[in-house]
Amino acid sequence: MATPPASHAGPRLTAASAAGLPEQAALPRHVAVIMDGNGRWARQRGLPRIEGHRRGVATVRRVTEHCARLGVGQLTLYCLSSENWRRPPAELDFLMQLLEQYMIEERALLMRERIRVAMIGSRAGLPEATLAALDRTVATCAGNDGMLLCLAVNYGARAEITAAARALAEECRSGRLDPAAITEDALAGRLDTAGMPDPDLVIRTAGEMRLSNFLLWQSSYAEIWVTDTCWPDFTEADLDDAFRAFAGRERRFGGLPES
């Protein structure tokens, strides 16, 4: 989307003591998380990789609930990249089963916390049972008025941008759009995230210093926070540390510091 104004910081904490944050600290409106380190966590403990993924689901539950209760507007989780299909079939099958199970078992929590659910990414190649569970949960939570939980599944930012460019080209070819009318907002409106705010804060676990093809367009002015902690060990306290760091940064969006 076009460069957002500084007002995209979210609601101010009304109970800062709940997270140990400064009283006047502003929450990020949209938090995006690259959940990395499940396999590494398992390997360090002599466990199969699937155990890392299983433990990672528990972290998803904790982080989702914590964000919702603090008042974060949107939480986007990088669940499966379009490149992850290179992994062993047995691991991919397990990941799909975990996603299906999560969509079913977490409905009560999602409804209790009034959380809405959305998916970005390609549905192609995803198991029908997984898609059915996801679609039912999205429909069940559609009337909620709380945080939006956005799941990036079979997602790749380059493919997303390419598809948006292709859509604009087709509209121009058919005469429905003047090429001169193509703006940043026009392209953003064809992305999977159309209508969503850009992320204010991108969190990556397990210490890697890269975006890994995640929300490349949308993260142009996001603050990035990296921790060496692997995703299964990531706690509410770690999330609070990220929010505390975010509150201490000056966001200029390409402008000069305020005098």
Chain segment 246-255, per-residue pLDDT in tens: 999 887 766 6
Q: Is 84 a residue of the active site?
A: yes
Residue the block writes with tokens 């398992």: 42
Which of 84, 135, 213, 238 is an active site residue? Answer: 84
pLDDT tens digits for range 61-114: 999 999 999 999 999 999 988 877 778 888 899 999 999 999 999 999 999 999
Q: For the whole model, what pTM was predicted?
A: 0.88
If you write DSSP's letter for every residue of 119-174 in order, what string do you get?
EES--TT--HHHHHHHHHHHHHTTT--S-EEEEEEEE-HHHHHHHHHHHHHHHHHT
Structure tokens at 166: 């292709």
Domains with residue ranges and CATH for the chain: 26-245 (3.40.1180.10)
Q: Indicate if 241 belongs to the active site.
A: no
